[in-house]
Amino acid sequence: MDGPTHYRESERLLAMCTDSDGNPPADPEDAASLTPYLRAAQVHATLALAAATAYPVARYETTPTGSKWTDVMA
C-alpha cells in the first residue's frame, strides 16, 4: 500500500464511524463498537503521513506516486 492509498483507507474507515452529516453515534455503546475502526484509521493516517514526509515533493512530480498524491489532495 502506498501513501495515498493509506490516506484514502483512513478516510473510508472514518466515514464508517459517522452518519451522513459527519456526526459520531450518540449512544456510547455504539461509539465503543467503533474503536477497532478508529484505531485502524489512525494507523493508516499515520502511515500516510510517514509516506508524505518521506516523499514531500510528490505533489510536484508526474511520477505515478506524485500523481496519486495529487489525486488525494484534489
Res. 72: pLDDT tops 90:
no
pTM above 0.75, yes or no: no
- One-letter amino acid identity for 49? L
Res. 73: pLDDT tops 90:
no
Neighbours of 64 (CB within 10 A): 9
Distance of CA 44 to the CA centre of its chain: 6
For residue range 13-62, list pLDDT tens digits in order: 999 998 888 888 888 888 889 999 999 999 999 999 988 887 665 555 66
Confidence at residue 37, expressed as pLDDT on a 0 to 100 scale? 93
Residue with cell 456526526: 23
What is the distance between the alpha carbons of residues 23 and 29, in angstroms, rounded to a whole number?
Answer: 15
Give per-residue burial for 38-53: e unless 16+ CB within 10 Å, then b: eebbeebbebbeebbe
